Amino acid sequence: MRVYFYLTVFLLQFQFFQCVPPYFPTQIVFRTDDGFIIAIDEVNQRASRSSNYTSTEQAAAYVMKHFPYATPDTPESKFYVQLVVDSSTSPNSSDCQYAAYWKYGTEYFNQFPVHWWLNASSFEIKNYMRFSSEMIQSNQSSSHLDYWYAKEQCRLESGEILPCQEIYFLKSTPVPSYSTEVVRTGMRVVQQVTHYEVLAIGEPGKEYFDSIPKNWSTSCRDYNLGVNYDPLSVVIALNKSSRTRVSLTSPPHVINGDSTVRIQWKLNGNEHSFKWSPDHFYFNEANFDKAQILTITRMKDDVIGTLVPVFNGGGFDKVPSDAYPLILA
């Protein structure tokens, strides 16, 4: 089996000549030190990252340019989508969320290399490695490894000076063995080592993508759906009122031809401490970014509370209310 693997690698390295070391092949599956299996298909713009906790518990993330089972004529059917599924939270259900990378994308959603994530509205699956400076191939490589090191040098906390990045490949192959990078962890500057167990080179098998739930677009939370407040908190004197502007971060989903979402409010705290108006707002895909005014009046002194939205419709039903508190001080 080992001989067959290296023979396959030898033949495939010519296919991936454009990604010779120090870069990874454009299509590769490997396992890292943290136990995650990463499948990268740069050619077809798709990738997955998975880890099995037990036979029934799994965490997985997927990102693709053309995500399967997307609802037609939605942002998810037209742009890159990333989906995260975690079945470890409950033995009978999965916690899942997704985001499309478009003009109403979020700034807080990515499980893959940061250099793939250009900004909230743009994503591209690139090579797994990114180097901060020119990489030089050493003429002092060992008999079984090829060694590359960064021209830029970094100083460790101990005072030792090392190349900021290094990477090692099996001799005369595109198979990565391990890499190092000088990083800051808290107040310390250390050299971090990452090992790679290469499982396959070439187009990843369908098993790395077959576990995508077919109903993800309706059963998982759309991470782009949220609420904006301006200001984020309001200071209110006794028997006085303050206002905040409320809008949505992205258009609501169209469900059965209707994109309307209703937002009501729930007070966390003494229910007689504050009152507010109006009682509810309606947003849809036409007015989601048009701010509506929420007016809050303080009825009792020396009380701090929070208002949280209660959603209905427009795909917002899966958005947790506590994720968008309005602070009342």
Top pLDDT among 157 and 21 is at 157
- 241 forms bridges with which residues in the sheet? 297
Residues 229 and 317 in one domain: yes
Residues 153 and 278 in one domain: no
Residues 260 and 147 in one domain: no
**pLDDT value at residue 62:** 97
Angle, vertex CA 121, rays to CA 73 and CA 312, nearest 5:
55
Residue 26 has pLDDT above 50, yes or no: yes
Distances in Å between the Cα of 142 and the Cα atoms of 171, 172, 272 are 8, 11, 75
8 A C-beta contact, residue 216 and residue 83? yes
Residues 57 and 88 in one domain: yes
Top pLDDT among 216 and 301 is at 216
Residues 42 and 86 in one domain: yes
State the CB neighbour count (10 A cutoff) for residue 24.
Answer: 25
Residues 175 and 144 in one domain: yes
**pLDDT value at residue 54:** 52
Residues 27 and 145 in one domain: no
- Give residue 69's domain range: 2-129+203-221
Residues 271 and 298 in one domain: yes
Distances in Å between the Cα of 233 and the Cα atoms of 207, 241, 253 are 47, 13, 28
Residues 65 and 99 in one domain: yes
Residue 17 has pLDDT above 50, yes or no: no
Residue 60 has pLDDT above 60, yes or no: yes
Sheet holding 292-298, edge to edge: 227-230, 241-248, 292-298, 274-277
Residues 32 and 174 in one domain: no
9 pLDDT band, cuts 50/70/90, is very low
Which helix (H) or strand (E) segment holds residue 72: the answer is: none
Q: How many CA atoms lie within 13 A of 293 on its CB side?
A: 4
Percentage of the chain exceeding pLDDT 90: 79
8 A C-beta contact, residue 305 and residue 269? yes
**pLDDT value at residue 53:** 53
What b/e string do you get for 251-278 counting C-beta neighbours within 10 Å, with b at 16 or more? bbbbeeeebebebebebeeeeebbebee
What CATH code is carried by the domain that includes residue 273?
2.60.40.10
Tokens 């427009």 correspond to 314
Total number of domains in the chain:
3
Residues 208 and 232 in one domain: no
For the stretch 74-132, pLDDT in tens is 999 999 999 999 876 554 445 899 999 999 998 888 999 999 998 889 999 999 999 99
Alpha helices (runs of H) in 83-238, residue ranges in sequence order: 216-219
Amino acid at 58: Q
Q: How many residues does the chain have?
A: 329
